[in-house]
Structure 1
């Protein structure tokens, strides 16, 4: 099936880690570029596996070494063509620190994540905390979730 003028669609793949502490708090960053609170994450490199990318992004943005537990969701930004793979992780070492991409690193309660994060990022945290083992698949427009599974 052709896309547009027979061009292949262009997508970007990102990865994120929802790091869950034993007390149920989740690791979040305040982004340096827009001040938004989100789980740490970023663009998947061409030569890395998704799990490796999530581990790298969490470490780069927070100073926390993590272990991936499982994939908890796949999210597509329909306007931007970005597909995000989100993994539930647990901290194994390190200390919280900011980076060039983050102005704050905090452990939030799930309720704080719901209040501080935009809908499309708060749902990723809720999905990671869901005990169901089947990953959620959702689409959004950059601000609002368009459908629900």
Structure 2
């Protein structure tokens, strides 16, 4: 009997924080938005392995997940994202097929360049009391 339930997609986001407090970000090649790197979790990988893979594929930076900092659901698209605070362990940032630019942003730059639904993932990764659970519409947190 086929399920009538809607399907959800699970994604991961890597909030990669350098020792100086700057955060790794990409300017998406498809829509020009600044976001922390991430993407769809593959069926055969753990969330930690998936976030490391996505960060590397999108930026050339090798990262290691340290802690789950938030769970975010895009209510309009049915995407659930697991965000991890990560530390860089190698590589250098470079543009890729998915990222027209890669930069290490200050928190002020995160607030200025990222839409609220993406910036909150960075801010949550740096505050105590998580992991946080939030819903959004792709742009604004509800």
Q: What is the TM-score with the length of structure 2 in the denominator? A: 0.96
CA shift for structure 1 position 9: 1.8
1:3-29 deviation line (CA, Å, top 9, x unaligned): xxx602210000010000111100000
Distance 1:98 1:128 in 2: 24
1:24-62 deviation line (CA, Å, top 9, x unaligned): 100000000000000000000011011100000000000
CA shift for structure 1 position 84: 0.3
Q: Which of 100, 103, 118 matches 1:103?
A: 100
Runs of 4+ in 1 over 3 A off after TM superposition: none
Distance 1:63 1:143 in 2: 26
Question: Which residue in 1 is equivalent to 2:73?
Answer: 76
How big is the alpha-carbon RMSD for the aligned residues of Structure 1 and Structure 2? 1.2
The within-5 A match list for 1:63-142 is: 63-132=60-129, 134-142=130-138
Q: Which of 28, 31, 38 matches 2:25?
A: 28
Query: What residue ranges of structure 2 are gaps of 5+ in the alignment?
Result: none
Query: What residue ranges of structure 1 are gaps of 5+ in the alignment?
Result: 1-5
Distance 2:48 2:63 in 1: 10
1:70-94 deviation line (CA, Å, top 9, x unaligned): 0000000001000000000000110
